[in-house]
Chains A and B, each alone.
Chain A
Amino acid sequence: MSTEAGSGLRDDELPGLLRGSLDHCVKCTICETACPVSNVTPLFPGPKYCGPQAERYRVADEPSVEWSVDYCSGCGICTQVCPQGVKIAEINAQARNKIKREHGVALRDRIITRPTVLGRLGTPVAPVANLSLRLRPARILAEKLLGVHREAPAPRFAGRRFSRWAKRHTSPRTGRKVVYFHGCGTEYYEPWEGEKVVALLEHNGFEVEVPKQDCCGLPLQSSGLFDDARRTVLRLARALAPFVRDDDTIIVGNATSCTLMLKREAREILGLADDPALKRVSERTWDICELLLDLHDRGELRTDFRPVNETIAYHAPCQQQGHFIGKPALDLLALIPGLEVREMTARCCGVAGTYGLKAEKYEIAMKAGDALFTQIRASGAPSVACDSETCRWQITHATGRPSVHPIDYLHRAYGL
């Protein structure tokens, strides 16, 4: 197995601490109550069986004894709800990676986990790329050849890149600097989201810097391509770290799963806890809603909001919950006069990044999200707010309702 730059650890040496946590499992089943996958398919026997229980049978240097853990979507909810601190999702991520190391990674998983490459290829030919992503014969072919489900929600290339806009844009010099990590979703698919983030931050007195940046490596990590994921996230960390010049400068991102990768997952799952650049970036990274609510709590957020007379459903995605900061978007949206926000309590939309795109997992992902889709339909809200782009695409695909990042509503209410 390869030795990885940055960690100095072999993949199978990483999980010592994670593995140690399994002894805290008291078999209380709380993770089972929350797992979106095991509740809808017998193919995944659940976080408790696959995690702390099966881990006892996984021996370094010996082959994996069973593969059901490949059906774990990696949403991370099990770890969030565990009252004993067992790192269930992290243990399962290691086990999944071991299977990939033993048996190789499908071509599909090498392709769909590289948003930067896809984005660079698709952007210049966006009309054609978007058309072919929606042409039935093309999708059937993609399913047969690659294993990308023909119905799976495919994003649209915007045809322009956020970074190009950012290069031309000059943020007013206020001296209060913030570093913006926009992620690939904003770069290639939803550049307008990035423009809104910048406008919101500037409206609140920040001078926004946009470093040149690439993917965080999360899709690679969640498909078990740990070596590639490490290289990718370390490259990003080294691109961002020089911008964090002092203790007052922070990095803020609107892609909640990507900021979580920087904050925690790269360090805990990929074993990069000791990389100095990543550590600096990890500690200084904030989710956009976390930052805005914090400003509000300090009395520093502008509240010159116009009424937005709408009802919306709000879904806090699994990865957002993994920040362990509550649901700041709920309190932010509550500041907007006229806006009625219905909190969705079902936990997961099922897609888990790229999980729901895979032909053999698409149906499971749709079933996993069904409780949420049912709540959204029953809420009477014509549109949905959600912090993660892949979850938004899945929600819109399943419910037919438009979905946007919560900051869209703040942007509108400010009249920007």
Chain B
Amino acid sequence: MRRELHFDAVVIGAGTAGLTAGARLAEAGARVAVLTKGVGSTHLAPGTVDVLGYAPERVSEPGRALEDLVRSRVDHPYALVGRGCVVEALQWFGERVAAGPFPGYRYVGGLERNHLLPTAIGALRPSALIPETMAAGDCAAGGASAARVCVVGVRALRDFHPALCAANLERAGVDARSVELNLALDRADQNALGVARRFDDPGWRAWFCAELSPHLRGEERVGLPAMLGSTDPHGVWSDLGRRLGRPVFEIPTLPPSVPGMRLFEVLRSSLRAAGGRLILGAEVVGAERSGERVSSVQAHAAGEERRYLARWVVLATGGFASGAIELDSRWVTRERVLGLPVRGAPGADEPRFVSTYLDEQPLARAGVAVTGDLRAEGVENVLVAGAALPGAAAWREGSGEGIALATGFRAAEVVSEAEGARAGQPGRSEAVV
């Protein structure tokens, strides 16, 4: 017997784009496998859905800025999917969170206005759709509150320094101060997930609040590193608000990101609920073509590689950061998984990098060349989603999750539409053959 598996669609990559595409395809009735080398970007990102934060000035109304972007930047991923698709994708995501594995947990906001959320170092970051647990941290004019922010840290938590966070917030014009608790944990050094697991325990929460309460003053709102529970964020966050008698909010931490892990779990369980399969450790190491189609991909497995045959392939492997696109020592840029052509890389005589690290790097907009409906150029049945797409400098724009969600969503729609047309049905089809 050979290890050959047949699917309607194979999605490569299990970040936000891949899981969204996989879940949507499965919901539309397709047999889907999501193949992934390991756990990806979700666990490193803050867990917010940033749609458009800078264009290039800071954006306060992302919906309006998005319309301008779609008109003026025809090569941008948002221009390929359109504003309507972004709206639908956010809506879909919100519903999946509500139906997901965390009772009561929800996201708030949308395209009307950006929240301005404190980062771990006290910068203000614009974001459109955010976990409810972060909402009270909004520092935008007309936002949640103008009350003073009290940034609370725990000494053993690595990479979070409340005094630094509060001082930088002050510099950004936010009334802020800090408290650092020196709580006895069983180790000198702990990450956010380790503390989050303690918050799962009501007894520990009560003790934590008793330790913290004497340090709080007046009408302050309390900003804590994003570590409010690993299994029941809504319950933990609500409980803390009740016990402390004031608004409480999470501030995203350096990795690992607890809210990012929740986002992964929401999308993973949506995929599973619709019957899709997630296959961890299945690094794609080769592909077969027949004519202008990719007919199968080979993926790593213990013992012997497995061959996945599929009518459709969604490439959601990320960009340079994940290693899916590489620049070699001969200055050749290539897509590493399927060997697809890359667009947007600087030419041989143009600079690839600029010396100011945090500025936009010329290489940043490189990605897999696609047609208007996200199909890889020259390949009929491969769709590209997320950071693998060219045309965006997501980390400068504050658009990474928005692009991932919208293009993952759209890639699934393109497949459903094509399969619907193939089956002779008019318009969009809910069933993929």
* Beta-carbon contact of B33 and A326 below 8 Å: yes
* B3, chain A: closest CB distance, angstroms: 8
CB of B172 within 8 A of chain A? no
**Total contacts A-B at CB 8 Å:** 104
Interface residue? A343 (CB, 8 A): yes
Q: Nearest residue in B to A375 (C-beta to C-beta)?
A: B231
Q: Is the CB of A30 within 8 A of B303?
A: no
What is the 8 Å Cβ interface bit string for chain A, positions 370-389, against chain B (1 contact, 0 not)?
Answer: 00000000000000000000
A250 at the interface (CB under 8 A from B): yes
Number of interface residues of B (CB under 8 A): 40
| Minimum distance in angstroms from A300 CB to a CB of chain B | 10
Chain A's nearest CB lies how many Å from the CB of B94?
A: 22
Closest to B15 in A: A83
User: What are the interface flags for B15-40 relative to A under an 8 Å C-beta threshold, 1 for contact and 0 otherwise?
Assistant: 00000000000000000010001111
Say whether B197 faces chain A, with CB atoms less than 8 Å apart: yes
Q: Name the residue in A286, A326, A327 with the highest tally of chain B Cβ atoms < 10 Å from its Cβ.
A: A326
Rounded to whole Å, the gap between the CB of B15 and the closest CB of chain A is: 9
A30-B44, A248-B1 known; A324 vs B302 contact (CB < 8 Å): yes
Query: Would A81 and B33 be within 8 Å (CB), given that A39-B194, A262-B303 are in contact?
Result: no
Q: Do A39 and B197 form a contact, CB below 8 Å, given A34-B39, A83-B39, A326-B33?
A: yes
A325 interface residue (CB < 8 Å to B): yes
Q: Would you call A30 and B256 a contact (CB within 8 A)?
A: yes
A263–B277 touching, CB < 8 Å? no
Which residues of chain B are near A42, meaning CB under 8 Å? 186-187
B window 170-225: CB within 8 A of A: 186-187, 191, 193-194, 197
From B146-154, B278-286, B352-360, B380-388, the one touching the partner chain is: B278-286
Total residues of chain A contacting the partner, CB 8 A: 43
A248 to B299, CA, bound (A): 21
Contact B302–A297 (Cβ < 8 Å): no
The distance in angstroms between the C-alpha atoms of A282 and B283, with both chains bound, is 19
Q: Any chain B CB within 8 A of the CB of A105? A: no
Known: A282-B304, A284-B303. 11 other contacts (CB 8 A): A28-B255, A30-B38, A33-B193, A80-B280, A83-B40, A247-B2, A282-B303, A283-B303, A294-B5, A297-B5, A324-B302
Q: A245-266 interface mask toward B, CB cutoff 8 Å, 1 = contact, 0 = none?
A: 0011010000000001011100
B1 touches A250 (CB 8 A): yes
Instruction: Quote the shortest CB–CB distance from A153 to chain B (angstroms).
Output: 24
Interface string of A232-255 (1 = CB under 8 A from B): 000000000000000110100000
* Pairwise interchain contact A345-B186, C-beta atoms closer than 8 A: no
Docked-complex contact B302 and A33, CB < 8 angstroms: no
Q: Could you write out 18 A-B pairs with CB less than 8 Å apart?
A: A29-B43, A30-B38, A30-B39, A32-B193, A33-B39, A39-B197, A41-B186, A81-B280, A260-B302, A264-B303, A297-B5, A322-B281, A324-B279, A325-B301, A325-B302, A326-B278, A343-B272, A345-B101
A29 touches B191 (CB 8 A): yes
B104 at interface, CB cutoff 8 A: no
Given A42-B186, A84-B38, A331-B277; A322-B302 close (CB under 8 Å): yes
Q: Compute how far the CA of A324 lies from the CA of B33 in the bound complex, rounded to whole angstroms.
A: 12
Return A340 CB to nearest CB of chain B, in Å. 13
For the complex of A and B, 8 pairs with smallest distance between CB atoms: A263-B303, A324-B281, A83-B38, A264-B302, A42-B187, A263-B302, A326-B279, A324-B301
Closest beta carbon of chain A to B88's beta carbon, Å:
28
Q: Which B residues are in CB contact (< 8 Å) with A298? A: 6
Minimum CB distance partner of A24 in chain B = B323
Q: Which residues on the B side are within 8 Å of A331 (C-beta)?
A: 277
**In the complex, which of the residues A82, A84, A345 contacts B265, with contact meaning CB atoms closer than 8 Å?**
A345
**B contact residues vs A (CB 8 Å cutoff):** 1-3, 5-6, 33, 37-40, 43-44, 101, 186-187, 191, 193-194, 197, 255-256, 261, 265, 272, 277-283, 299-304, 306, 322-323
* Proximity string of chain A (277-307) to chain B, C-beta cutoff 8 Å, 1 when within and 0 when not: 0000011111000010010011000000000
- A248 contact set on B, CB distance < 8 A: 1
**Is A361 interfacial (CB-CB < 8 Å)?**
no
Question: B127 to chain A: closest CB distance in Å?
Answer: 22
Chain A residues whose CB sits within 8 angstroms of the CB of B306 once the complex forms = 325
A112: min CB distance to chain B, Å: 25
**B265 / chain A contacts, CB cutoff of 8 Å:** 345
Any B CB within 8 A of the CB of A321: yes
Residue of A nearest to B43 (CB): A30
Given known pairs A28-B44, A321-B281, the reply for A83 and B303 (CB within 8 Å) is no
Find the A residue at minimum CB distance from B189. A45
Determine if B304 and A283 form an interchain contact, defined as CB atoms under 8 angstroms apart. Answer: yes
Contact A39 B279 (CB under 8 A): no
A324 touches B1 (CB 8 A): no
Q: How far is the CA of A247 from the CA of B261 in the complex (A)?
A: 42
B272 closest partner in A (C-beta): A343
Q: Is the CB of A33 within 8 A of B280?
A: no
A400 at the interface (CB under 8 A from B): no
Q: Does A98 lie at the interface of the complex (its beta carbon under 8 Å from any beta carbon of B)?
A: no
A283 to B304, CA, bound (A): 5
> Whole-angstrom distance from the CB of B120 to the nearest CB of chain A?
14
Q: Are B6 and A297 neighbours in the complex by a CB distance under 8 Å?
A: yes
Is A8 interfacial (CB-CB < 8 Å)?
A: no
Task: Tell me the minimal C-beta distance from A68 to chain B in angstroms.
Answer: 12
Q: Is A182 an interface residue (CB 8 A)?
A: no
